[in-house]
């Protein structure tokens, strides 16, 4: 059913100013619990820590529950969600015609389950300040044990899309901005100290991976966090402390690995092989410029574009991914899919920019209630952090094949939820959630006359 045909609840009705968001009923509805469950299963990966849990199929439970919630509640899908569904639709069209259509169908199925079972529910059911704050806090803290695992296991992750060092570095880079943003809005010394510690652990986990792409993404992230932060001086201090901590605590092998960036074109370097795989991707794109070769099919078509020089050296590309989100998009989806992907990215950036402007204009008001000011400021910090997340994704993703990982799509869902909540808060304020201006004291006319005579020159 088209989302445009779904019933749209009256915003003012849904958002009575007196709505008790802090109650457990308002915060922990079943769809929201399933969203937290998805974050726990997909990113916390308890079944990798305790393998026996895998027999319970936790992914099936949380994604199936999310799909069922969408089917029963039939919420209105935001614009960003419709664009994600359009990308899924393109995958459905291309998958049957791919060279390895079995793999294409499998990746399309998995992407569809993630989209309908997790991404759309985040967009639709994270619909109060309390839920959004709880989700973002949970998101940050779920990455801390992952970071500690990587630090103590030579930079590798616990499994799945978090196993490879480069993939894990990007995951840490994309968690850092949320911790940075929470540090600016959380109250209480203990909570802030814990967040600062978490921030340091996430940065050190990136260093533990020895990932050169992760380092470039981290550097770009540091710059973006300062540029987009509402409080420039405080943010600069935090970024500098992070940088100094990285310099002091990162192992010497990390800086040695970073130093090899300038030699990445040497034939014996992994960077050379990455450039070669990019060249094959470009050739594949030129042969299939409109719709590409289909989902997850670069690695099964690159053998047709190999160089004789490389094959004679014993290097074969079959089964190897392109090691770049861009050189995954171009050969697998052609111009149509690449344009669609960047529409999603750009629309997310534009939506955050509009919401940030709204936050700044609301915070400039003198009659804003303390509760509304707290909520608006929280949204402002999170939205600014999300701009850092997209930068590190686009930079780090240039060196790893992360198109089908959940990172970007979760960011898109967070963006849709945050933008919607800003609109809801503005509606709440317009409905009267403001502080009445303090009336000026009125002076009795006789007293005013006496004061006037006393101040007049003799």
pLDDT of residue 28: 62
Average pLDDT over residues 419-429: 94
pLDDT of residue 221: 81
Position 250 confidence tier, pLDDT thresholds 50, 70, 90: low
Position 325 confidence tier, pLDDT thresholds 50, 70, 90: very high
Specify the higher pLDDT residue, 308 or 130: 130
Say if 440 falls within a structural domain.
Answer: no
Say if 367 falls within a structural domain.
Answer: yes
Q: With a cut of 90, say whether residue 403 has pLDDT above it.
A: yes
Q: With a cut of 60, say whether residue 458 has pLDDT above it.
A: no
Three-state SS string over the chain comes to CCHHHCCCCCHHHHCCCCCCCCCHHHHCCHHHHHHHHHHHHHHHCHHHHCHHHHHHCHHHHHHHHHHHHHHHHCCCCCHHHHHHHHHHHHHHHHHHHCCCHHHHHHHHHHHHHHHHHHHHHHHHHCCCHHHHHHHHHHHHHHHHHHHHHHHCCCCCCCCHHHCCHHHHHHHHHHHHHHHHHHHHHCCCHHHHHHHHHHHHHHHHHHHHCCCHHHHHHHHHHHHHHHHHCCCHHHHHHHHHHHHHHHHHHCCHHHHHHHHHHHHCCCCCCHHHHHHHHHHHHHHHHHHCCCCCCCCCCHHHHHHHHCCHHHHHCCCCCCCCCCCCCHHHHHHHHHHHHHHHHHHHHHHHHHHHHHHHHHHHHHHCCCCECHHHHHHHHHHHHHHHHHHHHHHHHHHHHHHCCCCCCCHHHHHHHHHHHHHHHHHHHHHHHHCCCECCCCCCCCCCHHHHHHHHHHHCCC
Say if 3 falls within a structural domain.
Answer: no
Say if 331 falls within a structural domain.
Answer: yes
Q: With a cut of 70, say whether residue 444 has pLDDT above it.
A: no
In the chain, the number of structural domains is: 1
Position 258 confidence tier, pLDDT thresholds 50, 70, 90: low
Position 24 confidence tier, pLDDT thresholds 50, 70, 90: very low
Least confident of 2-6, 117-121, 204-208, 236-240: 2-6
pLDDT of residue 154: 84
Average pLDDT over residues 341-350: 97
Specify the higher pLDDT residue, 430 or 325: 325
Q: With a cut of 70, say whether residue 23 has pLDDT above it.
A: no
Q: With a cut of 70, say whether residue 129 has pLDDT above it.
A: yes
Least confident of 126-140, 232-246, 339-353: 232-246
Q: With a cut of 70, say whether residue 111 has pLDDT above it.
A: yes
pLDDT over 90 for what percent of the chain? 58
**pTM of the entire structure?**
0.84
Specify the higher pLDDT residue, 248 or 421: 421
Position 13 confidence tier, pLDDT thresholds 50, 70, 90: very low
Least confident of 330-339, 396-405, 408-417: 396-405
Say if 438 falls within a structural domain.
Answer: no
Average pLDDT over residues 272-284: 89
Average pLDDT over residues 250-263: 62
Average pLDDT of the chain is 84
Q: With a cut of 60, say whether residue 314 has pLDDT above it.
A: yes
Q: With a cut of 60, say whether residue 265 has pLDDT above it.
A: no
Say if 457 falls within a structural domain.
Answer: no
Residue-wise pLDDT tens digits, 150-182: 999 988 889 888 988 889 999 999 999 999 999
Range of the domain at 394: 9-430
Least confident of 45-59, 266-280, 323-337: 266-280
Position 257 confidence tier, pLDDT thresholds 50, 70, 90: low
Q: With a cut of 90, say whether residue 454 has pLDDT above it.
A: no
pLDDT of residue 255: 56
pLDDT of residue 219: 81
pLDDT of residue 260: 63
Q: With a cut of 90, say whether residue 248 has pLDDT above it.
A: no
pLDDT of residue 73: 93
Say if 1 falls within a structural domain.
Answer: no
Say if 442 falls within a structural domain.
Answer: no
């Amino acid at each position: 059913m088209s989302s445009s045909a779904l019933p749209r609840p009256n915003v003012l009705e849904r958002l009575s100013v007196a709505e008790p968001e802090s109650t457990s009923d308002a915060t922990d509805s079943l769809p929201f619990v399933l969203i937290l469950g998805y974050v726990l299963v997909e990113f916390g990966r308890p079944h990798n820590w305790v393998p026996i849990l895998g027999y319970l199929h936790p992914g099936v439970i949380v994604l199936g529950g999310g799909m069922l919630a969408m089917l029963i509640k039939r919420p209105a899908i935001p614009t960003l969600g419709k664009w994600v569904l359009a990308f899924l639709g393109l995958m459905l069209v291309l998958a049957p015609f791919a060279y390895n259509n079995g793999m294409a169908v499998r990746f399309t199925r998995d992407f569809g389950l993630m989209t309908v079972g997790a991404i759309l529910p985040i967009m639709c059911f994270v619909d109060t300040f309390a839920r959004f704050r709880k989700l973002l806090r949970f998101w940050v803290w779920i990455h801390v044990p992952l970071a500690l695992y990587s630090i103590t296991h030579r930079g590798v992750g616990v499994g799945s899309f978090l196993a490879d060092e480069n993939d894990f570095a990007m995951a840490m880079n994309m968690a850092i901005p949320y911790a940075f943003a929470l540090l600016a809005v959380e109250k209480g010394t203990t909570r802030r100290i814990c967040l600062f510690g978490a921030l340091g652990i996430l940065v050190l986990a990136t260093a533990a991976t020895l990932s050169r792409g992760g380092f470039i993404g981290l550097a770009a992230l540091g710059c973006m966090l300062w540029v987009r932060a509402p409080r420039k001086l405080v943010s600069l201090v935090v970024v500098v402390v992070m940088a100094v901590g990285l310099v002091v605590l990162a192992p010497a092998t990390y800086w040695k690995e970073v130093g090899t960036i300038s030699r990445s074109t040497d034939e014996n370097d992994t960077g050379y092989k990455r450039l070669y795989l990019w060249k094959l991707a470009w050739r594949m794109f030129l042969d299939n410029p409109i719709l590409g070769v289909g989902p997850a099919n670069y690695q099964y078509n690159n053998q047709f574009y190999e160089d004789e020089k490389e094959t004679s050296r014993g290097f074969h590309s079959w089964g190897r991914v392109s090691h770049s989100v861009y050189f995954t998009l171009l050969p697998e989806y052609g111009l149509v899919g690449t344009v669609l992907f960047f529409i999603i990215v750009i629309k997310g950036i534009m939506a955050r920019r509009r919401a940030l402007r709204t936050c700044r204009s609301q915070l400039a008001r003198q009659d804003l209630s303390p509760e509304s000011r707290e909520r608006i400021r929280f949204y402002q910090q999170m939205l600014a952090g999300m701009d850092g997340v997209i930068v590190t994704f686009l930079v780090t993703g240039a060196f790893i094949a992360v198109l089908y990982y959940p990172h970007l799509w979760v960011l898109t869902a967070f963006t849709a939820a945050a933008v919607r909540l800003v609109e809801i808060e503005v509606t709440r304020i317009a409905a009267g959630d403001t502080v009445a201006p303090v009336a000026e004291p009125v002076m009795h006319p006789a007293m005013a006359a006496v004061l006037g005579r006393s101040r007049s020159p003799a």
